[in-house]
Each structure stands twice: as structure tokens, then as C-alpha cells.
Amino acid sequence: MEEKKREYIDLSELIARERIRTVERLKARIEELQDRIVRGFEREGWGRLTSYNRELVTSLGAIELTIQEVKRGGRVTSPLIDALGMRRKRYSQELRMILADMAARLSLIRGHKEAVPEDNRHRCSEADNTLVRAGDRSQARGCV
């Protein structure tokens, strides 16, 4: 039996598209999606096996989900975990990207502070500060 291409759930896109603002609403929406995905597996001959709890950390906060497992032959899978791309991961892809961006920014700020002596930081002109606020650091002569 040929398996169809599986669904992928992008949490950041889901949150933005449906304007989800609370952990409770996100949890309810993920559970709705899981029910639909598991029903699709059942139509393909998979049977519900068991469920377990799993914590997922997103940009809205931590969610405790009940994950359904399905089985066909000797193969067992958790369709929701596969759809979310969360195999052996606790943090959502969306949150990991936010944290990586934040870490890069903090590294740049720390590196800049170490490279520019503290007594030179206050010597920026108002024009330099305007360039920095506008995002044009190329002409801002080492200002923070």
C-alpha cells in the first residue's frame, strides 16, 4: 500500500494565519489538527494504539499535549509529532529560530562593546545616533 505525502504543520504560520494569542487556543487548535490527521491515518489502515503526554514549548508558552500513537503491522508512529517536526525535540522550530536570532544579536552587541572602548561610546554625534537608529551602521563610526 502506497503512503500519501504527510502533512507538515508550521506553528508560526498557524499562529499568524489564525491570529492565535493564547496557549489555550493554540493547544485546542493543535488537538483539532491531530484528530484530523489521525483519522486520515485510520482511513489508510492504521489503528489507534495509545497516547502519552508531551510538553511543547512555543513562542506563546509551554503546552502539555496528549499525543496519539497509531500502529500498522509492526510500525508505530505519532502523526502529530511528525507533522510538527518535533521528533526528539521539545522546542518548536519557530521558538528555536527566535532564540537563535536573539543569540546572534546578543553576540554582536557584546562583541561591539568589547571592541569599542567604553570611553569612546559616548562620543557619537547626533547624526551618528540617527544613522544607527535608522539601521545604517556603515557610516556611524563605531557608535553603540
- In tens, the pLDDT along 18-76 reads 999 999 999 999 999 999 999 999 999 999 999 999 888 887 888 899 999 999 999 99
> Is residue 140 scored above 70 in pLDDT?
no
135 torsion bin: left (phi>0), alpha (psi -120 to 50), beta (else):
left
**CA angle, 14 then 51 then 29, to 5°:** 20
CA distance 11 to 60: 10
What's the pLDDT at 113?
66
What is the domain partition of the chain in residue ranges?
11-91, 98-133
What's the pLDDT at 65?
92
Strands 61-72 and 47-58: antiparallel
Total-model pTM: 0.59
Percent helix, percent strand, percent coil in the chain, to nearest 5: 50, 20, 35
CA distance 72 to 91: 28
